[in-house]
């Protein structure tokens, strides 16, 4: 009876693990789609965002998921002995729960904040902001413009087609003109931007 009960428990655990992995993969796919196609472009920095939108939701999710999986974790740690095995399990399951927490609770918090930030920004007047460009960079089809906004480093993701004509040029000869609306805290919702030449004061590229 004990042997068959153990087999039944292991079968249930395997099915549950498969279900969890499917959810995890689904969250990863959704997160990727949101990042590349749905996420609004924002610039700015504020410690409140890091605390309330990134850290706290992730830690809350970590706590809830740990409580939810407590029986599974207690069983794993009680049936496995040895310091190295324990350290490996702490790292493996800790990373797994952390990733799951960030992709679920963290992602929900971020999307909710993006929606509120966009609604707030729409009620504000459009501003034109000139920013110093520090670098044009491309790395395996990941093209970015690095610039300073309120003395803090920011970046814009751009297409290779947009950036290819500037990769061999000195960023100090150009500046970034950004049209944006102020949203929550110190973040701005970007509507459009230009790369402009300091010498001729004309637009070299537009998006």
CA separation for the pair 104, 108 (Å, rounded): 6
Whether 118 and 172 share a structural domain: no
Dump pLDDT digits (tens) for 66-75. 888 888 777 7
The count of structural domains within the chain is 2
Dump pLDDT digits (tens) for 154-204. 999 988 888 888 988 999 999 999 999 999 999 999 999 999 998 865 444
pLDDT at 98 over 60: yes
Whether 118 and 149 share a structural domain: no
Per-chain mean pLDDT for the chain: 86
Whether 117 and 142 share a structural domain: no
Whether 168 and 198 share a structural domain: yes
Whether 29 and 7 share a structural domain: yes
Residues 6+ apart with CB under 8 A from 177: 128, 129, 130, 131, 193, 194, 195, 196, 203
Query: Quick check: 174 and 195 in contact, CB under 8 A?
Result: yes
pLDDT at 7 over 70: no
Whether 68 and 136 share a structural domain: no
Whether 131 and 197 share a structural domain: yes
Tell me the whole-structure pTM to 2 decimals.
0.81
CA separation for the pair 152, 173 (Å, rounded): 20
Whether 72 and 169 share a structural domain: no
Query: Quick check: 158 and 172 in contact, CB under 8 A?
Result: no
The H or E element spanning position 117 is helix 107-122
CA separation for the pair 35, 57 (Å, rounded): 18
Whether 131 and 118 share a structural domain: no
CA separation for the pair 148, 150 (Å, rounded): 6
pLDDT at 81 over 80: no
Dump pLDDT digits (tens) for 18-59. 887 888 899 999 999 998 899 999 999 999 999 999 999 999
When mean pLDDT is compared across 2-11, 78-87, 122-131, the lowest value belongs to 2-11
pLDDT at 114 over 50: yes
Q: Residue 206's pLDDT band (boundaries 50, 70, 90)?
A: very low
Whether 145 and 184 share a structural domain: yes
Give the residue numbers spanning the domain of 164.
127-206
């Amino acid at each position: 009876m004990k042997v068959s009960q153990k087999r039944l428990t292991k079968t249930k655990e395997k099915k549950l693990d498969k279900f969890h992995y499917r959810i995890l993969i689904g969250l990863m796919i959704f997160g990727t789609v949101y990042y590349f196609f749905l996420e609004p472009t924002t610039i700015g920095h504020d410690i409140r965002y890091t605390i309330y939108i990134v850290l706290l939701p992730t830690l809350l999710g970590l706590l809830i998921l740990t409580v939810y999986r407590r029986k599974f974790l207690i069983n794993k740690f009680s049936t496995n002995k040895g310091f190295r095995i324990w350290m490996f399990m702490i790292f493996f399951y800790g990373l797994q729960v952390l990733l799951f927490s960030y992709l679920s609770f963290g992602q929900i918090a971020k999307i909710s904040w993006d929606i509120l930030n966009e609604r707030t920004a729409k009620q504000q007047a459009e501003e034109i902001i000139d920013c110093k460009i520090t670098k044009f960079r491309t790395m395996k089809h990941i093209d970015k413009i690095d610039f300073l906004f309120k003395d803090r480093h920011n970046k814009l993701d751009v297409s290779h087609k947009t950036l290819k004509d500037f990769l061999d040029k000195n960023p100090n000869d150009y500046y970034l003109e950004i049209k944006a609306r102020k949203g929550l805290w110190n973040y701005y919702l970007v509507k459009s931007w230009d790369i402009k030449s300091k010498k001729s004061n004309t637009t070299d590229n537009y998006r």
